[in-house]
Each structure stands twice: as structure tokens, then as C-alpha cells.
A and B are shown apart, each in its own frame.
Chain A
Amino acid sequence: MKRVPTISISFLLLFSVCAGAREFQAQTAPPPAPLKKVSSIQVLMIQSEEVKLPAEFQISLYENLIQQLQKKGGFEHIYRDGDKSATGDVVVLHSTVRGFKKGSEMARQVTTVAGKTSIDVHCQFTDKDGATVLERDVNGKVRFLGGNLRATLDFAKKTAKITQENFAMKSGS
């Protein structure tokens, strides 16, 4: 009868030692180099050379991205493409469309399951010298409710979050 608690205690000890070792290993692993925080960001116009993207989607991606970055906060200045005052401590966001499926709002409303709109965008963050500091693939989609342009809002929200987490000096909303 006394053996049972002894065995269980030894199991508990073994488990806690293993867990502690794992935690220690995780702590000693080299963390990814932290990205330099900047006070400003410049958003360049969305490029779509490989994929034929309708003009309204291109403008909607660009405008929604700037709007979402302003909403998230964390940057002193958000510069637009071609802004002459974009100097100093600034990171530049280049976005290139890699995939686009227009979908159909009517198909979504009628069938619920068909007609998904999807946009795949490759986002590249560079410093003022042009060196790449971060690259991410972001997808924007609308599955059920809303017009096709709503996919651009989904992309903008995700990209603004990535940008804010990695580069913003101040913590935004």
C-alpha cells in the first residue's frame, strides 16, 4: 500500500525535472534578433505586375492599408508613396500582389459556400538604405458577408498588425 504514493511521487519528480529541463532549453535558445523600431513608415503603391488586378482593388488595398496603420497608431508619421518629406527614421513597405481570385458576391449570398474572394500579397519591409528587414506573405479574403473589396480590408488589418508589432515605437491601440 505504501508503494503507490512512492511511485507516484517519483513520477511527479521525474516529470517536473523533464519540464524544467525543457523550459531551460527554451530559455537558452537564441531568440530572433529584434527588429529596429522606427518612428515613421512609408507605404508604397501596391504593385501587380504578375497578376492582373482591377484598379479599384489596387487603390482599395493602398488606401485601406494607410487607414488601418493610422488606426492602429504607433507611428509618428505615415507617409504615402512619393511623399517628399519622407526622410529620417523610416521603414518602407513594398507590397506585391502574387495571387488574386475575384470571387462573386452574388455566389456568396446565394450559396454561402462558393464565391470566395482572395488576394495574396507579398509584403517587404526595407530600411531607408533599401536593405530588406522583414518579409511576409499576407492573405486577404472574404468568405461570407460583404462585397469583394472587403478582402482588401482584411489584408490591410493583418498587415497593419504585423507592422505595428514589429516596427512601431509606441504601442498602439
Chain B
Amino acid sequence: MRVVSKRVTVGFLCLLFNPLAAPSFAQQPANDVKVVQVMGFEDVKPKAKGNLKLENGNLQFSDSKAKAEVAITSLDDVITGNDSQRVFRGTFGTLTMFAPYGGGRFLSLFRSKLDTLTIQYRDAGGGLHGAIFTMPVGQADPFKKLLVAQGARTSVPIQDDSNNTAPKADAAKEQKP
């Protein structure tokens, strides 16, 4: 019995740490991203922090207080970009402005990069809406790919990373403000 249980344990561990199994987890693009909703979604406060995810053909934003969703097929345009923000924000960030000898100004030099995701969608009456989200750097493009794969439209084509034969300079570049 002991030999059998040992073999089972070893077999389980081999399966768990199988190097071939690892990439399959890594290749899964995240369809649940932590974002800040800058503006746009109705019933959600501006600058609300929450999760943006794809569920049952809908793009869903949810935070602790509100929830809003839009059908992915109603998305007219999805555009990604990049921006930056102060590392020291909020109340502490405001207090640093009063720091002596220009300390606050010096701290303003420390900034973190972030991605932006801008969407345009239409409601049931045909009215055009827009929403802006910011998210950690490197997450906007994979999320856009997921949206486009599920039926969203975009005016800026996604750069195909798998096509290595084309020179990078000629490839369609997304507008980076």
C-alpha cells in the first residue's frame, strides 16, 4: 500500500510540475482585469476602481457599489493607448504639495505608466456612448484582442505579433497619445 501511495504521489507531482503544462496556463489571456473607470458608464461613479471582465457576451464592470454591462457586439470602437500618473496620489499626494524646499515638485517626477482602453458603444435607442478605463501597463492590448475576437469592432487594427516576417516599421501601429 505504501509503494502504491508513493507512486501516486510521485505521479501527481510529475503532472503538477510538468513543463509542458505550464505554458497552457500562461497563454490564457486574462479576461478579468483590475481597472479604474475614468468616465462613461452610467450608474458608475467617475474614477471608480473595479474589475472589467467578459461574461456571457457582455463587457461587465463591477465595483463594490455598482455594476454595469454592455453587449460586446454593440461596441463600435475599441482603442488602446498609454498614459502616466503620479506614484504619490490621493491625500498623501496632496499633502506632498506643501512639502518644503520643492519636495512636492520633486516627488511629481516619480510617475508610473498605465494603459488606457477607450470604447464607444450604442444603447438600444442607437445613442452613442463612450467610456474610458485605465489599467496596469501591458494589459490593454490582450484585453482588446479578446473583445475583438468576441465581436467588437475597432478602427485601429490589432498588430499581429505572430507575423514576424513583416518589418516592424511597416506594421500598423496603434495611436499612442
B105 closest partner in A (C-beta): A110
Q: State which of A83, A106, A110 has its C-beta within 8 Å of the C-beta of B126.
A: A83
In the bound complex, how far is the Cα of B109 from the Cα of A106, in angstroms? 7
How near does chain B come to A103, taking the closest CB pair, in angstroms? 11
> Is A83's CB under 8 angstroms from B127's CB?
yes
Q: Assuming the A-B contacts A106-B108, A110-B109, A149-B38, are A56 and B81 also in contact, with contact meaning beta carbons closer than 8 angstroms in the complex?
A: yes
Q: Which of A84-127 contact B (CB under 8 A)?
A: 84-85, 102, 105-106, 109-111
Of the candidate stretches B1-9, B19-27, B115-123, B164-172, the one touching chain A is B115-123
Annotate B78-118 by CB proximity to A: 1 below 8 A, 0 otherwise: 01010111100000000000000000110011010000101
Is A75 on the interface with B (CB-CB < 8 A)? Answer: no
Is B125 on the interface with A (CB-CB < 8 A)? Answer: yes
Is B173 on the interface with A (CB-CB < 8 A)? Answer: no
In the bound complex, how far is the Cα of B122 from the Cα of A147, in angstroms? 28
> Is B122's CB under 8 angstroms from A56's CB?
no
> Is A82's CB under 8 angstroms from B126's CB?
yes
Is B177 on the interface with A (CB-CB < 8 A)? Answer: yes
Q: Assuming the A-B contacts A56-B116, A82-B126, are A102 and B177 also in contact, with contact meaning beta carbons closer than 8 angstroms in the complex?
A: yes
> Is A84's CB under 8 angstroms from B126's CB?
yes
Q: Which of A38-62 contact B (CB under 8 A)?
A: 45, 52, 54-60, 62
In the bound complex, how far is the Cα of B161 from the Cα of A165, in angstroms? 53
Q: Assuming the A-B contacts A109-B105, A110-B108, are A82 and B127 also in contact, with contact meaning beta carbons closer than 8 angstroms in the complex?
A: yes
Q: State which of B84, B116, B122, B128 has its C-beta within 8 Å of the C-beta of A106.
A: B84
Task: Give me 6 A-to-B residue pairs in the complex whose CB atoms sit less than 8 angstroms apart, sorted by A's number.
Answer: A55-B175, A56-B177, A59-B120, A109-B104, A109-B108, A147-B85
> Sorted from nearest, which 5 A-B pairs have the closest CB atoms?
A59-B130, A54-B177, A80-B127, A109-B108, A55-B79
